[in-house]
């Protein structure tokens, strides 16, 4: 099947791990993830699981992943080495160089993301986005996951 690029926006909060958990809950509740058993992939149809824990109990999901933010299990801090299935923060230099501002907005991110702001397969990034008054408004997670 191959990997999929994705991005998720969540309201700003200081605890980035809590923001990731909120993105997980939203993606799961909206069904915004790859489900092998939806009748399109040659596997027998099955209803989606009722919890994220049940989702990860499925062997097919553990093999193919979800092609979504649900594949990211850990938020890294500044300077930590990237790990598979983790999200690293952009550095201050990357934010300015890639997004064109020290206080990037959602519009800045979306403009750059459309041009191919993609991380290596199996990894994700995150950064804070700001409103027009330079107040933190969102955290965006993006990456490429799945098999």
Q: What is the pLDDT of residues 17-59, one digit of tens each?
A: 999 999 999 999 999 999 988 878 777 889 999 999 999 999 9
- Unique residue bearing structure tokens 């790859």: 34
pLDDT band at residue 114, thresholds of 50, 70 and 90?
low
- Unique residue bearing structure tokens 């519009």: 107
- Report the domain count for the chain: 1
Read off the pLDDT of residues 67-107 as tens digits, 9 standing for 90 and up.
999 999 999 998 899 889 999 999 999 999 989 999 999 99
Tell me the C-alpha to C-alpha distance, in Å, between residue 35 and each of 43, 48, 147: 10, 7, 12
3: left (phi over 0), alpha (psi -120 to 50) or beta: beta
- Unique residue bearing structure tokens 């994705």: 6
Three-class SS string for 27-63?
HHHCCCCCCCCCCCCCCCCCCCCCCHHHHHHCHHHHH
Are the C-beta atoms of residues 136 and 10 closer than 8 Å to each other?
Answer: no
Pairing of strands 4-11, 136-145: antiparallel
Q: What is the pLDDT of residue 119?
A: 67
Are the C-beta atoms of residues 54 and 28 closer than 8 Å to each other?
Answer: no
pTM: 0.91
pLDDT band at residue 1, thresholds of 50, 70 and 90?
low
Q: What is the pLDDT of residue 3?
A: 79
Q: What is the pLDDT of residue 40?
A: 80
Write the DSSP symbol of residue 116. T
How many residues are listed for the chain in this entry? 147
Q: What is the pLDDT of residue 117?
A: 66
Q: Which domain covers residue 14, as residue numbers? A: 4-145
Q: What is the pLDDT of residue 43?
A: 78
- 10 Å Cβ neighbour count for 73? 13
pLDDT for 118 beyond 90: no
């Amino acid at each position: 099947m191959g990997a999929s690029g994705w991005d998720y926006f969540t309201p700003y909060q200081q605890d980035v791990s809590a923001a990731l958990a909120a993105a997980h809950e939203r993606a799961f509740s909206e069904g915004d993830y790859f489900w092998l058993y939806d009748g399109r992939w040659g596997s027998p149809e099955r209803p989606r699981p009722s919890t994220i824990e049940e989702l990860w109990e499925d062997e097919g999901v553990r093999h193919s992943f979800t092609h979504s933010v649900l594949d990211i299990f850990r938020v890294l801090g500044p300077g930590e080495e990237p790990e598979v299935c983790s999200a690293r923060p952009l550095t201050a230099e990357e934010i300015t160089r890639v997004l064109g501002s020290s206080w990037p907005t959602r519009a800045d991110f979306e403009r750059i993301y459309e041009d191919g702001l993609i991380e290596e397969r199996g990894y994700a990034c995150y950064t804070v986005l700001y409103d027009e008054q330079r107040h933190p408004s969102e955290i965006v997670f993006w990456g490429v996951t799945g098999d």
